[in-house]
Amino acid sequence: MTGRQLANTDPALRRAWHPVARSTEVGGDPIAIKLLGEHWALVRLPVSGPGDGSAGETRLAAFLDRCPHRLAPLSAGHVDGDALRCGYHGWCFDAAGACAEIPALGTGPLPPRARAVVPAGLTERHGTVFLAPEPPLTELLDVPEADAPTFLHGLLDPVRARVGAGLMLDNFLDMAHFPYVHTATIGTAEAAVVHELEIERRDLGMTVRSRHPFPNHEDPGVASGLRPLIQERVLRYEYRAPFLASLRIEYVEAGGVNVVDLLVQPEDDEHCRLYASVHRNDLDGDEHRLAESVAYEAKILDEDLAIQERYRERSLPLELTEEVHIRADRATVELRRILGALVAAAD
């Protein structure tokens, strides 16, 4: 008998923050997104208020993508004033979900149940929209470098893939697969051994640190003889349940910091949408080098997906006895414990 398997649509995940769109994807026309098997509509509604200085301002809004009247998708509607009007019968809803107008009733009283369902949490951070269907037990991931003016910032195009959300985070936090999955990019035979990890648990998240030697093939100072091939780097993973993580890489000899984010949106049991970003302060402000870095990270992600999309079972086992673990797996074992704690708290 197997233990708890964390599927992409596990009910416990409703009590957490999830990425659902890039900020630039949401505007004055509603868009449809999918999270945990449910459809939602995202839109920016004007902020009304004559004479209060709010002209031109908008607020982010989200609605379960079905009108309470005849369950038509609200994403097929349009913005009218400071509300979203259903495209089927014209019912109007404000950002809080309250019905402001039912044209067929004229000036008659509105039914108390005439409300659109809105999420418990909705916010934006670092250019990404986050939604929590029910009051979240988790906290958002903070990446200070993502807003730092001394860094260049590159966004990978969102990718929809047939993967498990938990397995993608397991992959992101795992260093033992580098020499075998990433042979064309970051994987080298010298990196086969996973060095000692320092893990600091923080409620439903953790920080993982490692300082170790590595062959820096990307350093131009190696080719010129300025620096040796074997250098030191400091890795720091930041993880927040359920599916938010970043990796900060500090190059000790060559200098500079490279930060890579991975945010995973579990759409349904079979699919996820992946949001990855790059933040670097070692490119001398060169946008061309930034574009090359973004393309390089996209290639690394493609290498990961070549394995992840071949998984037949897309749930992540939370019972530790179901898999064989070794010392190199300390971070991903802790991932399972944290997700187990989220499930227990949400049940």
| pLDDT tens, residue order, the chain (347 aa) | 368 899 999 999 999 999 999 999 999 999 999 999 999 999 999 997 555 555 689 999 999 999 999 999 999 999 999 999 999 999 999 999 999 999 999 988 999 999 999 999 999 999 999 999 999 999 999 999 999 999 999 999 999 999 999 999 999 999 888 888 888 887 767 667 777 899 999 999 999 999 988 777 777 888 899 998 888 889 999 999 999 999 999 998 888 999 999 999 999 999 999 999 999 999 999 999 999 999 999 999 999 999 999 999 999 999 999 999 999 999 999 999 999 999 999 98
Spell out the domain ranges in the chain.
18-132, 144-346
- 3-state DSSP: the chain helix, strand, coil percent, rounded to 5? 25, 35, 45
Give the pLDDT confidence of 290-335 residue by residue, as tens digits.
999 999 999 999 999 999 999 999 999 999 999 999 999 999 999 9
| CATH, range 18-132 | 2.102.10.10
Are 70 and 54 in contact by the 8 Å Cβ rule? The answer is no
* Residue the block writes with tokens 């599927």: 7
Output the CA–CA distances (angstroms, integers) from residue 87 to 20, 74, 84, 91, in the order listed: 23, 7, 9, 8
Q: Pairing between strand 198-201 and 205-215?
A: antiparallel
The structure tokens listed for 36 are 């945990």
Instruction: Compute the distance between CA of residue 316 and CA of residue 320 in angstroms, rounded to an integer.
Output: 11
Pick from 292, 289, 285, 278: nearest CA to 249: 278
Q: What pTM value is reported for the model?
A: 0.94
> Which fold is adopted by the domain 144-346?
Naphthalene 1,2-dioxygenase Alpha Subunit; Chain A, domain 1 (3.90.380)
Instruction: Compute the distance between CA of residue 171 and CA of residue 314 in angstroms, rounded to an integer.
Output: 13
Instruction: Compute the distance between CA of residue 218 and CA of residue 253 in angstroms, rounded to an integer.
Output: 13
**Total Cβ atoms within 10 A of residue 134:** 15
